[in-house]
Every structure is written in structure tokens, then in C-alpha cells.
Amino acid sequence: MQTRQIGPFTVSAIGLGCMNLSHAYGTPPSAEQGERVLLAALDAGVTLFDTAALYGFGANETLVGRVLGPHRSRFTLASKGGMAGVQFDDGIKRVIDGRPETVRRNCEDSLRRLKTDVIDLYYLHRWDKKVPIEDSVGAMSDLVRAGKVRALGLSEVSAATLRRAHAVHPIAAVQTEYSLWTRNPEIAVLEACRELGAAFVAFSPLARAFLTGALTDVVALDAKDIRRPMPRFAPGHYAANLKLLPAYQALAQEAGCTPAQLALAWLLHKAPHIVPIPGTTSLAHLRENLGAADVKLSPEVLAQLEALINQRTVTGARYAAQATVEVDTEEFAQ
């Protein structure tokens, strides 16, 4: 497996996003299947595993800790706090809370669930805009000094917020959605990461399955699937977006790879500080995704890809109104 750098860590060029083993895309797989995927990824050379307190309201960290805990020295462990499930009278709800005391408590809870003494890369999952980013990152830097965290990251932040945070403590990575159909990082934060020496960790690099070509019927999505409220997955927008796929699939065939591999290879070719973290519940898809590291794309194919699928050709916003308010990433002018 090829490698890339995140702060002090040398990691596999393609990591594993663990979220959908417990969360987000309808009914999650069994714990046994989750274990098979995690161990297969480790055996295949994946050395970056990404989880969060939010995923499954702690269930994902518990799974990762149970399965990978015995192999802790073999991989870089990333998790996130500042957004977690909180118990209310009417059930557990997602809460964004970046207060220093909450960040510290989230980390302690994650360490316990992950069965480890230290988290290698600890992200602020969302910037709580009621709390200065300097205060949240200051609390995270205390965790580094206490030996509970080795390096810090931020998720879904702008270049300006990244620079403010980096002035408090070095930021090793920014994690944001990035794929051919979500190009927002190209506005500013991708370059800011390069300037500051931070890695850019790309989540949803397969456009939440759109770029695999396998998702053709959004009407059939599970009622709890997080894609349901996303505008570009609404039936009308999605039908328009599907028209982009035949030409995209032809480019994959020309490149001698699958559509999923083409999407990941495009990211790997964009810049050496980009590390994609596709998620999957399938052993076959895991192997397919990791094969993208060996795909070579010509400048001509890269140019054709970028002209075909971009912010002008994709219809529908990335997030619904509420989720858009919760992130700090730059947006293209409408």
C-alpha cells in the first residue's frame, strides 16, 4: 500500500471511514460483518481508521475499540468530538457543543470506548459557532499536553477558521467532504492546508455512492438514510445527476478501472496531501476501493473528469438548510 503523511503519522494512501458500519445509511450491518470489514482492511494494509463519538452514538467507537484494540500498534486511530449524542427525555439527539469542558469529556468517553490510552488524531467534528474556535482548540491542545491525544484536526471548516485554530496549536489535518461532485475545498481550504503543512482528509470521496454507479433509485433509500434530506439526492435533482454517469463510466473504462476506483484515483492525483477515507460494509468493495491506489490517470482523463462533473454540472445543494448552517466550509457563489 502506498503511503501519505498526516502530521507525524505515515498512513496508507487510502484510509477507512468507519461511520457506515454503525450509522447513517439505513440499517447498519451486523457486528460480525463490521468486524470482518475492519480486520480485512487492516490485513490489506490500511493504517488509517476514522471514527467519531457521533457515529451510532458511541457504537462505532465501541466496535472499533473491541475489534482493533488488540492491534493498536499497527494503525493510526482518528476520532472526533464536539458533536455527539446527548440523552434527552424524548431520546438521544445530536448536539454540537465545542465548550472546553465538553471537548474534554467527549475525549475521555472516546478513550474508554476505543479501549486505548491515546487517540492519534483527534478532530473537532464541527465548529460550535457559539464558542470561539480558539477556546475549543485550546482545550484540545490541553489533551495533547496530557498525552491523551497526539495530533489535532478540524472537520468542515473554512480556511480562515483553520488559520485561527492553527495559531493556537498546529493542525495536522482538515477533514471535509471532497469528490468530483463536491468541489468546495478547491475554493480555499485545500490550498490553506498545503501552506500550513496539514493533510486534507476527504470523506465521502465516492459522493455517497453516486460515483460508484450503483445507486440508481433514491426513492428506495431507507427512511433513516442521511441522504434522504440532501437536496441533490431528491428524485428530481438525482435524475438529472444520473445523466452524468454514462460519460463518467466510459472514462473509467478508458482508464481500465471501476467507477469507484476512478473517483478515488482522481483525488489521489489532485495533490499529495489528500488522503481519501471511503467507507463500506462490503469486503468486495473494500478490495475494489484499495485498488484505486494503483490506478494511473493521464492529464487528459483528469481534465475530462473535471469538466464533466463539477459544481456547475451537478444539481442540488450538498446539504439541506440546517446542516448547511452547521458547517463552516466555503460555498460557491450561486
In the three-class reduction of DSSP (H, G, I as helix; E, B as strand; rest coil), residue 5 is classed as: strand
Is 28 inside any structural domain? yes
> How far, CA to CA in Å, does 165 sit from each of 151, 327, 328?
13, 15, 13
Is 85 inside any structural domain? yes
pLDDT averaged over every residue in the chain: 96
- The distance between the two most distant Cα atoms of the chain, rounded to a whole number of Å, is 57
Residue 89 grid cell: 427525555
Is 334 inside any structural domain? no
130: domain CATH number?
3.20.20.100
| pLDDT at residue 92 is higher than 90 | no
Residue 316 backbone zone (phi > 0: left; psi -120 to 50: alpha; other: beta): left
Rounded average pLDDT over 8-31: 95
Is 111 inside any structural domain? yes
Q: Among 84-98, 175-189, 299-313, whose mean pLDDT is lowest?
A: 84-98
Domain holding 40, by residue range, is: 3-326
Is 333 inside any structural domain? no
* DSSP bridge partners of 124: 81, 154
Cα-trace Rg, the chain:
19
Answer yes or no: are the C-beta atoms of 55 and 61 closer than 8 Å: yes
Question: 63-85: buried (b, 16+ CB within 10 Å) or exposed (e) per residue?
Answer: bbbbbbeeeeeebbbbbbbbbbb
Angle at 146 between CA 127 and CA 149, to 5 degrees: 50
Label residue 247 by pLDDT band (50, 70, 90): very high
Q: What is the total count of domains within the chain?
A: 1
| pLDDT at residue 45 is higher than 70 | yes
| pLDDT at residue 334 is higher than 70 | no
d(CA 109, CA 299): 46
Answer yes or no: are the C-beta atoms of 79 and 119 closer than 8 Å: yes
| pLDDT at residue 298 is higher than 80 | yes
Q: For the segment 104-139, what is each residue's pLDDT rounded down to a tens digit?
A: 999 999 999 999 999 999 999 999 999 999 999 999
Q: Which of 25, 55, 123, 248 is catalytic?
A: 55
Q: Annotated catalytic, 55? A: yes
**Virtual torsion, Cα 168, 172, 177, 182, nearest 10 deg:** 90
Q: pTM of the entire structure?
A: 0.96
| pLDDT at residue 12 is higher than 90 | yes
